[in-house]
Amino acid sequence: MKISNITKSVLGCTLFLFLTMQGVHGNDFPLFPPIGNLPPVAIPPNNPQTAAKVELGRKLYFDPRLSGNNWISCATCHNPVLGFTDGLPRMLGGPASKEGGRNSPTIINSAYNELQFWDGRAATLEEQALGPIQNPNEMFETLDNVVKKLSGIPGYVKAFKEVFGTGVTADGIAKAIAAFERTIVFANSPFDKYTLGDEHAMSESAKRGMNLFNNKAECIKCHNGPNFTDNKFHNIGVPADGPLKEDLGRYNVTKVETDKGAFKTSTLRNITETGPYMHNGFFPTLFEVVQFYNGGGGRSENKSSLIHGLNLTGQEAADLIEFMKALTGELVQIKYDNAPLTFTTLPRDF
């Protein structure tokens, strides 16, 4: 297939911009995947997207009848009006609404995650979708009982038959919710517009912040690639907070000593909407997060070698935050109605 000279020029300019953003010149080569625009979402072959499946997943996502007390839905902890989080330092769940040990991570752009949850214990969105339903400290329900409840609702029976050709099943629930979550893609941020050639899309402060991000502040070492995450796990020394006196993080999954206290690098896209921050919600603001990194992180015997003091000035810290603000985009694949945290009534068929 022949590529036109114009196409070659566009591709060349795009690559040059990516490399420049990382401070790469001459014979240098980027050490980390460049930040840039998001690629299309990869859809697993065993769960193709259809409009009907996404709509079924949307209904399930907002339905509190997936929980043991018919009060907690996926949207309770991952609410669209709160950046698809719950706005709390740590989630509330279980029959007594007790505080959990971890922050509710956003599902924004979770379709790009290589592993799900803070500790990466779920390999796919399908697997992730069923986890909270069965967790006694979250939705405290059984899959068998959820299937039984939904099988008694004509609207769900009809929808599952149309989408999967079967009755209500746990596998179908997982696939439908995952299909819906793959549509929660946020892009078209000032940063995205800037990388596509709009020089005025970002403020001068944000532009300085981007340079710091890729160089002096060293954010690029972990928050790299189009979704601003390396999809890896790091111990940065976040202090313990909440009911858990110790959280071993990734180690609970792998049993590898070097994974003790390590948690997944979260995306920075729409980061201004998803606080509080860190796996336990320890920091309420981005300013506090930047100061934490600037001081070399926290104390931990297993702290990552990537974490050290940065010596950022007050202005540099402010510029870095302005760049992170420029990562706030908009939902680009579907439109949705803002949903309340709970539902007092539901349509009879759904």
Q: Tokens 């018919």 identify what position?
A: 70
Q: Tokens 């002096």 identify what position?
A: 216
Q: Tokens 């991952």 identify what position?
A: 78
**What is the rounded CA–CA span in Å between residue 22 and residue 215?**
7
Q: What is the dihedral of CA 145, 149, 152, 153, to 10 degrees?
A: -150
DSSP per residue over 22-45, as a string? TT--TT---SSPPP-PPPPPPPPT
Specify the length of the chain in residues: 350
Catalytic residue selected from 126, 138, 141, 316: 138
Q: Which CA distances in Å does 4 have to 9, 14, 197, 201?
A: 9, 15, 20, 29
SS3 for 12? Answer: helix
Q: For the chain, where are the alpha helices, taking DSSP H only?
A: 5-21, 51-61, 74-77, 125-134, 143-151, 154-164, 170-181, 190-195, 204-214, 251-254, 286-294, 314-325
Catalytic-residue membership of 204: no
Query: So which residues are the catalytic ones?
Result: 138
